[in-house]
Amino acid sequence: MTNPIEVRNPRTGKFDYVIIPPPPRLLAQQCKRTRRGQVRWQQLGLEGRIEALQQWKEAILSGRDRLTEALVNDTGRLSTSVLEIDSFLSSIDRWCKLAPELLQDSAKNTAIPFIALQQTSVPYPLVGIISPWNFPLLLSTIDTIPALLAGCAVIVKPSEIAPRFVAPLKTALSAVPELRDVLTFVEGAGATGSDLIENVDLVCFTGSVATGRKVAEAAAKRFIPAFLELGGKDPAIVLESANLELATSAILWGSVVNTGQSCLSIERIYVAESIFEKFYHQLVAKAYRLQLAYPTVESGEIGPIIAERQAAIISGHLLDAVEKGAVIHCGGVIEDLGGGWWCRPTVLTQVNHSMKVMTEETFGPIMPIMPFSTVEEAVSLANDSIYGLSAAVFASEAEALEVAQQIDAGAISINDAALTAIMHEGEKNAFKFSGMGGSRMGAAALKRFMRKKAILIKTNATNDPWWFETGE
Ligand code: NAD
């Protein structure tokens, strides 16, 4: 037997939910059963798989209220949960529409006239997904949908910090027998994630750099591919030519949405010194207009800090910054309201790269702003990080494009912020310690779940010129 894990409610601080991780032997059996189902799933063909996913979507829609309630209890926020559900459901439609073209096999002539080539793809039988707590539904399903359409079976281990959304998804699954056999959710924490890697053929991991390293090592030992989507410390650069009204609104959203608990949050802001004062005054004024979603979920835009351990990290970063000379203009404290931990949008100036708030992932609604005098300096500050997930540049379009080319990160939003949260079409890699493996976005995302297989066909009946001369 394994020990049950009690789950904390981020709004009340009460432990009001329990999950029971499967013992390793049971997990291995679940993986075996899911893997067995994959054979029929692949035989079902793409049309059948699309139909099953659409049935699942309909079943989720008919129980949408329960899913919303579970996700709100997991995360303490409402409007972002609604967005999360919408985004998940629309991803099912998007992939169902794209898959037929992406999964087409092709026949080709080759450089050798009597050898034909059939290029086919074979799905990995069993894909393991390990996901974090900040967007629990979206990040458990973002790789699941394309993997299922590719013909893989999938076993998902969501975060132990926000697992309530799984129950309504499972209820909806019970209405779709074809899918129920090849999509399994398991509950548990790190030990279950680690056991899972021992039983799958490919792993998609979203989480911290520290855990990502363990996942990569475990996968390497088994020679299975590991796709890692890890932490970030996204910079925004604001040049003199930027539209300030637009830049402050975009940066506020990109830093503070989901209470800053996004890998692609803007966590450092570099502003041309000529517009620095104006910029931060405007940002502070806008930040003051946002309200905590307390006492009710509808009361405001800023939800609670979901993971208790994150509250300590945010407050540690703020303390470190203030001790080293930073000035806080709004927010700046972790508040205990109704048993939950809360942090209002916080703007800091007088910051530098000796501070954790400028170098380590804070994962809170914190906006430290630093002036620069030349574009070269801005680029060098933006690139002074172990992370390279994404970034934003605000300037005239031509100028911004030039700067974007010099930033060491996988996606750059221009005159907007965190666009990869909304738009999943552009292929991108996570640079540096922000990840490893193929693009999770765009068409390439689906192809990660297939192995290429070349069928080479001799089409004539004479000896090949490179064979041994053995005839009379
Ligand atoms: P985490 O690394 O603590 O946990 C992530 C998942 O890994 C959880 O399900 C956890 O149970 C599991 N896990 C823990 N130890 C494991 C092990 N040894 N083997 C296998 N699985 C294990 O991360 P978190 O705190 O849940 O999430 C926050 C982090 O995720 C942040 O760093 C954030 O930037 C990152 N993140 C990245 C992206 C992205 O797309 N790049 C998206 C969201 C979050």
297 C-alpha to center of ligand 1: Å?
A: 26
The best mutation among 159, 192, 309 to test binding of ligand 1, ranked by most ligand atoms within 8 Å of the C-beta, falls on: 159
201 pocket-lining for ligand 1 (C-beta < 6 Å): no
232 CA closest ligand 1 atom index: 34
The alpha carbon of 204 and the centre of ligand 1 are apart by a number of angstroms equal to 11
Residue nearest atom 22 in ligand 1 by C-alpha distance: 190
Q: Is the CB of 37 under 6 A from ligand 1?
A: no
Mutational test site, ligand 1, from 84, 263, 422, max ligand atoms within 8 Å of CB: 263
- pTM of the predicted structure, to 2 decimals: 0.97
pLDDT, position 470: 87
For 316, the token pair is 């540690």
pLDDT 10s digit of each residue in the chain, 472 long?
789 999 999 999 999 999 999 999 999 999 999 999 999 999 999 999 999 999 999 999 999 999 999 999 999 999 999 999 999 999 999 999 999 999 988 877 889 999 999 999 999 999 999 999 999 999 999 999 999 999 999 999 999 999 999 999 999 999 999 999 999 999 999 999 999 999 999 999 999 999 999 999 999 999 999 999 999 999 999 999 999 999 999 999 999 999 999 999 999 999 999 999 999 999 999 999 999 999 999 999 999 999 999 999 999 999 999 999 999 999 999 999 999 999 999 999 999 999 999 999 999 999 999 999 999 999 999 999 999 999 999 999 999 999 999 999 999 999 999 999 998 899 999 999 999 999 999 999 999 999 999 999 999 999 999 999 987 6
Ligand 1 atom with least separation from CA of 440: 40
Spatial distance between the Cα atoms of 363 and 378, rounded to a whole number of angstroms: 22
Probe target for ligand 1 pocket from 165, 198, 211, with the most ligand atoms within 8 Å of CB: 211
> Which ligand 1 atom sits nearest the alpha carbon of residue 434?
41
166 within ligand 1 shell (Cβ under 6 A)? no
Catalytic residue among 229, 301, 360, 361: 229
Task: Give me ligand 1 centre to Cα 278, in Å.
Answer: 38
pLDDT of residue 188: 98
Residue 364 near ligand 1, beta carbon < 6 Å: no
- What separation in Å is there between the alpha carbon of 197 and the centre of ligand 1? 14
193 touches ligand 1 (CB under 6 Å): yes
425 is known as an active-site residue: no
pLDDT at 472: 61
Closest residue by Cα to atom 21, ligand 1, is 193
Report whether residue 301 contacts ligand 1, using a CB cutoff of 6 Å: no
Rounded to whole angstroms, what are the CA distances from 51 to 96, 146, 153, 180, 355?
9, 14, 16, 13, 52
- Atom nearest to 157 CA in ligand 1: 9
Predicted confidence at residue 105, as pLDDT, reads 82
